[in-house]
Chains A and B, each alone.
Chain A
Amino acid sequence: ELKVEQNPLFLSMQEGKNYTIYCNYSTTSDRLYWYRQDPGKSLESLFVLLSNGAVKQEGRLMASLDTKARLSTLHITAAVHDLSATYFCAVDIGSSGTYKYIFGTGTRLKVLA
């Protein structure tokens, strides 16, 4: 069964601290996406990771992809309150020109002042 697992599911951290969210997936894929969702809101795209070894950074967030290990990480540097949200990874399992995305269960991040 295809699984996309994130851990931790909940994360409460102090401002200024660093932490990493992990996304493991159980099938072959070379494309992985990270999204952010604020409470009661829609999803906003953060990163598209295309290939093994891909690393992207935006502000205090950095995402990486290891397709051999089927693992992506979202690293948070010096967290601030505005980063409080739920973060989802999604894996593209489509083939032959079709695009099907499987989402992880999400990591709810709360940054405490």
Chain B
Amino acid sequence: NAGVTQTPKFRVLKTGQSMTLLCAQDMNHEYMYWYRQDPGMGLRLIHYSVGEGTTAKGEVPDGYNVSRLKKQNFLLGLESAAPSQTSVYFCASSPPSGRARGTDTQYFGPGTRLTVL
């Protein structure tokens, strides 16, 4: 199993450009998440999804949109990139079925390093 994969690994955008980050998981997990990680601030939840066709806002959703058209994929879109969105973006997934057993930890992808000039 590949686990959680993210595409691309690095990207440089100019202010105002748009892009989509792709997250894919092959573990049949229901739940998927997008985080951003900034220096000294830990991870902050942007959006999450509890199943195909559903999405919800996290802590810092402004400026981002998401879609979960297929269970295995979770897309994060930036419609008009801003320098404040320069960050490392992590996708994660987790199995709700493991919640009762305490095995519902999140599995993280390798990250996408995004720079907005």
Question: Cβ of B116 < 8 Å from any Cβ of A?
Answer: no
A48 and B45 contacting across the interface, CB-CB below 8 Å: no
Chain B residues contacting A35 (CB-CB under 8 Å) are 108
A106 and B42 in contact (CB under 8 A), knowing A43-B108, A99-B50? yes
Interface size on B, residues (CB 8 A): 29
> Is B104's beta carbon under 8 Å from chain A?
yes
Q: A33-B105, A45-B107, A50-B102 are in contact. Are A101 and B45 (CB under 8 A)?
A: yes
**How big is chain A's contact interface, by range?**
20 to 34
Asked if residues B45 and A100 are in contact (CB atoms below 8 Å), the reply is: yes
Give the docked Cα–Cα distance between A43 and B37 (Å). Answer: 11
Q: Given A33-B106, A45-B106, A99 and B90 touching (CB < 8 A)?
A: no
A102-B106 contact in complex given A42-B111, A43-B90, A88-B42, C-beta closer than 8 Å = no
The interface centre, meaning the residue of B44, B99, B105, B107 with most chain A CB atoms within 10 A of its CB, is: B105
Give the chain B neighbours of A45 by CB distance below 8 A. Answer: 105-107
* Whole-angstrom CA separation of A41 from B110 in the bound complex: 6
CB distance from B35 to the nearest CB of A (A): 8
Cβ-based interface call for A25 (8 A)? no
**B residues bordering A, Cβ < 8 Å?**
31, 33, 35, 40-45, 48, 50, 56, 58-59, 90, 92, 94, 96, 99, 102-111
Contacts of B35 in A (CB 8 A): 103
Q: Which 5 residue pairs across A and B have the least CB separation, nearest first?
A: A45-B105, A103-B42, A103-B43, A105-B42, A43-B108
A residues in contact with B111, CB < 8 Å: 42
Which positions 89-110 of chain A face chain B at CB distance < 8 Å? 90, 97-106
Sample (15) of A-B pairs whose CB atoms are under 8 Å apart: A35-B108, A41-B110, A42-B108, A42-B109, A42-B110, A43-B90, A44-B108, A90-B43, A98-B50, A99-B94, A99-B96, A100-B58, A101-B106, A103-B43, A105-B40
With both beta carbons as reference points, the residue of chain A lying nearest to B31 in the complex is identified as A99
| Chain A: minimal CB distance from B14 (Å) | 25
